[in-house]
Structure 1
Amino acid sequence: MTRDTGLTARIPGSKSCTNRALLLAAAAPGTSAVRAPLVSDDTLTFRDALAALGAGVSATPNDECWEITGLGRGPAVGARVWCADAGTAARFLPPFAATGTGEFVFDGSGQLRARPLWPLADALVGLGARVRTAAGEDALIRVTAQGLDGGEIGLDSSLSSQYLSGLLMAAPLMRTPLVVRVHRLVSRPYIDMTLGLMRRFGADVTEDADGRIEVRPGTYTPVDLVIEPDASTASYVFAAAAVTGRTVTVPGLGTGSLQGDLRFADVLRRTGADVRIGVSSTTVTGTGRLRGGFSVDMGEISDTFMTLAAIAPLADAPITITGVAHARLKESDRISAVAGNLRACGIRAEEGPDWITVHPGVPLPVRVACHRDHRIAMAFSVLGLGAPGVIALDDPGCVGKTFPGFHNEMRRLFPAYELPVPGVGAWP
């Protein structure tokens, strides 16, 4: 096979890095610059929420830089904060608010209300906050704050690592050190990202060999930070390269990345793709054929498991993905949603509490049920490249949660990419 000269993908900034950086900037005194932020539904919601909590927010006309003038402490005036569909807002902002004073009411969409918050609420109560999340409340969570004491807590992180990230980022604003003993942590790379960014903003954080994390009180320092491309989003163009036999490079995403989801490229190696991760970029070259016949634990990179599962029908043998029980509690029950859509297009898919096995097959025409989940839409769009003309989406616009320009970028990179809705129409 003759390899092409390669394509350069334009991947927007990391949502996980953007929202963490925004919160840390809001907690620091002075003004921080967040450059090349992701501009999407979730990050705009998060930015607006910080403004509601009292942080100063401004942006250049082209959104290349967001400047955040922080409080240097917790919020001093109560507020009602809309989180829309953004899980990071609902899980990162209540601990920050609890370090301040006043009553803070956080609410969101029906989709967000269906996602669990009790581990975070229990932890905040243990640190001295008054919290209400009871059935019948007119909000996701209501926090009555008079600052947080700190202390030692245990935290069940089997459902999401975001509870822990939210508590850790608020910890320097507490009155005494916070010591967290973590139980059943999922998505460890996201905690590494949180700790790395906290240190970048000047936090005093240590972790021992047993996983006990201690954060001491102190003052964050404003920074000038460039957000790296989103590794979860890059998984779609990397998978598309593997499916089509093209070469795709993502600049700005290399060996120094804060994002664990770059490890998806290593998973693609197992399908036969050539993967090269350099200091400042990652390149994937596909053969146009996928090798299967393996099982892989994707618990630590679960946002990318759907990308692999969606293209698995094109492999030469079954692929089993394990360790992703917590994916059932995301924007949708992602295991069930992926399996159901695969079965709808004639592919044999088996599932268990924390696993899915996908068998080879020829996809039949299907209208994919996106469940308002951006990752379902983007993953099955890649399958459409390997099965031209058979994949349509019932909600192509839901990609706006993290990558509003997804469909246009896929069409630019891969001319065979088709409109993911039945018939002819404008790109969402």
Structure 2
Amino acid sequence: MTTRPAPLTARVPGSKSITNRALLLAAAATGVTRLRAPLTSDDTLAFRTALTDLGVRISGTDEVWEVTGAGAGPVGAARVWCADAGTAARFLPPFAAAGRGEFVFDGSDQLRARPLRPLVDALTALGSKVGSGPGGALPLAVTASGLDGGEITLDSSFSSQYLTGLLLSAPLMRGPLTIRATSLVSRPYIDMTRALMHHFGARTRQDGDGTITVLPGGYTAADLTIEPDASTASYVFAAAAVTGRSVTVPGLGSRSSQGDLGFVEVLRRTGAHVEVTDSGTTVTGRGDGALTGGFEVDMGDISDTFMTLAAIAPLADAPITVHGIAHARLKESDRIEAVAGNLRALGIRTDEGPDRITIHPGRPSGAEIACYRDHRIAMAFSVLGLRVGGITLDAPACVGKTFPGFHDELRRLFLDHPTPQGT
């Protein structure tokens, strides 16, 4: 009779997606909002600093951030540095356009390479004056006099963040905003955005064809506790699967608004035991860490976790194909090519297409992983490193973008505890 090992409790930090959305909502609301257990990382600190550059007052401790909102968009003039944070570059220009003044947004070379054209076109169609860098990228110069609202069609095939940025600031507009998003990727993030908007008092509706309308009226301050980051949790869940351990992430359960928790259902297909309750989620690997392959999976809605699966897929007993992830080529790196190239460096056969990758079983050898300054590449291949000796990272510190303590936590959970026994 097989007995499952007692679960270890993972310390997964707060959701980046929720933290940054809540920061903007609190800044746009009337009154003081307390955000409990926010993620403190490179991306969220960049977002927080960008808001303070726009005149928002934020104080507090690492455990609680207090945001004093003005109930409107920013007023005045500011130069805003977004660093590497794509959410800052995509969420804050609409917020500025809903205010009054002259605002310039810029960021790192990595962020300047990421597309913003759909957002620039949408803001222009809504009556804002926006100047941009080559191809509609950073730097962006926004001349703001408020926005009237209206009806627009938005190309959302590259990222759902353009839609999110417009939705978040829509209640600050003078009239309703109706958006028809075409070819929308990562749809669960839009559900999360609307849920958070409702928490702060906004009124939205979604029609049967996916068109979303947001009514004017602003936001009201509302305290919020940030739940653990589901994308980040994917690494400890995958590590449990390949080591035969059992890991629980408390506070990340069936009521979560994060679509990336769906990653555990993919792990279930590899043979891991998964339990999701109201209070948390537990993943337990087989005693020998074996994985079942031989399947295809569309991870378009949870594309931030496809690398987690791809990195451990060589350990499966048959090929695994991930598809629906074309937009992952336009993230911090071309994530499909980055994963394929690193797997090849480890001696693993891969096949790739515009929106897919197939990973074949094999015996990975040690090699240095090219991280491309992409936190998710670094964390995904660190999980494989629990089973394969000799794997190193060329930029281990890049995990600080979302989880500064990642390497210490992985070591605590999977290297500082004895291998489970019992059959």
TM (norm. structure 2) is 0.96
C-alpha displacement at 1:212, in angstroms? 1.1
Q: Which residue of 1 aligns with 2:294?
A: 293
Match of 1:256 in 2: 255
2:415 counterpart of 1:401:
no
* Counterpart Cα distance in 2 of 1:8 and 1:200: 29
Cα shift readout 1:335-386 (whole Å, capped 9, x = no counterpart): 0000000000100011100000000001111000000000000000000112
Deviations 1:1-21 (A, max 9, x none): 442111000000000000000
The letter for the 2-side match of 1:358 is I
Check if 1:353 corresponds to 2:354.
Answer: yes
Which stretch of the first structure deviates more once superposed, 215-224 or 88-97?
Answer: 215-224
Matched ranges for 1:17-416 at <5 A: 17-60=18-61, 63-135=62-134, 139-287=138-286, 288-387=289-388, 389-415=389-415
SS of 1:78's partner is strand
What residue identity is the alignment partner of 1:303?
D
How far is 1:136 from its partner? 9.9
The answer to whether the 8 Å contact 2:57/2:69 transfers is: yes
CA shift for structure 1 position 219: 2.2
Q: CA deviation at 1:210?
A: 1.1
Letter in 1 for 2:366: P
Question: Which SS does the other structure have where 1:131 is aligned?
Answer: strand
SS in 1 for 2:171: helix
Alignment deviations for residues 37-93 of structure 1 (CA, whole Å, 9 cap, x no partner): 000000000001111111111022xx0000000111010112100000000000000
Alpha-carbon offset, residue 171 of structure 1: 0.2
Contact 1:26 1:69 in 2 (8 A): yes
Distance 1:151 1:385 in 2: 52
In 2, the alpha carbon distance for the partners of 1:377 and 1:135 equals: 30
Whether the 8 Å CA contact 1:105–1:139 is kept in 2: the answer is: no
2:292 aligned partner, one-letter code: R
SS in 2 for 1:77: strand
CA distance in 1, matches of 2:151, 2:414: 52
Secondary structure in 1 aligned to 2:351? strand
The residue identity in structure 2 corresponding to 1:339 is A
Structure 1 gaps, min length 5: 418-428
For 2:68, the aligned partner's letter is: T
1:135 is displaced (CA, Å) by: 2.6
Q: d(CA) in 2 for partners of 1:135 and 1:245?
A: 49
**Percent of matched pairs sharing the same residue:** 71
Cα distance in 2, alignment partners of residues 345 and 59 from structure 1: 45
Aligned to 1:386, the other structure's residue is in SS state coil
CA distance in 2, matches of 1:328, 1:96: 27
Cα distance in structure 1, aligned partners of 2:4 and 2:64 = 37
- Per-residue CA deviations over 1:123-164 (Å, capped at 9, x if unaligned) read 000001000114399952111110011000000000000000
Q: How far does the alpha carbon of each residue in 1:286-329 deviate from its partner, in whole angstroms, 9 at most, with x for none?
A: 01100000000000000000000000000000000000000000
Return the alpha-carbon distance in structure 2 between the equivalents of residues 121 and 324 of structure 1.
24
Q: Secondary structure at the match of 1:29?
A: strand
Counterparts in 2 of 1:246 and 1:138: CA distance versus 1, 3 Å: closer
Matched residue type, 1:12: P
How far apart, CA to CA, are the structure 2 residues paired with 1:103 and 1:224? 31
> Is the CA contact 2:113–2:137 (under 8 Å) kept in the aligned structure 1?
no
Amino acid at match of 1:304: T
Which SS does the other structure have where 2:123 is aligned?
helix
Preserved contact between residue 292 and residue 316 of structure 1 (Cα < 8 Å): yes
Conserved 8 A contact 2:115-2:136: no
Tell me, yes or no, if the aligned pair for 2:227 and 2:251 is still in contact at 8 Å: yes
Cα deviation for residue 280 of structure 1 reads: 1.3
Distance of 2:96 and 2:84 partners within structure 1: 19
2: CA distance, partners of 1:78 / 1:71:
16
Look up the SS of the partner of 2:76 in the other structure.
Answer: coil
Contact 2:117–2:137 under 8 Å retained in 1: no
Distance 1:379 1:334 in 2: 11
**Counterpart residue identity of residue 397, structure 1:** A
Encode CA deviations 1:386-424: one digit per residue, 9 max, x unaligned.
Answer: 21x22110000000000000000000000179xxxxxxx
Equivalenced residue count is 414
- Amino acid across the alignment from 2:377: I
| d(CA) in 2 for partners of 1:166, 1:219 | 15
Quick check: 1:34–1:227 contact (8 Å CA) kept in 2? yes
SS at match of 1:404: coil
CA–CA separation in structure 2 for the residues paired with 1:144 and 1:328? 31
Measure the CA separation in 2 of the matches of 1:119 and 1:136: 10
2:273 touches 2:284 (CA, 8 Å); kept in 1?
A: yes
User: How far apart, in 2, do the equivalents of 1:50 and 1:357 lie?
Assistant: 41
Q: 1:153 to 1:137 in 2, by over 3 A?
A: closer
For residue 196 of structure 2, give the secondary structure of its aligned residue in structure 1.
Answer: helix
Contact 1:363 1:390 survives alignment (8 Å): no
Separation of aligned partners in 2, 1:405 and 1:362: 29
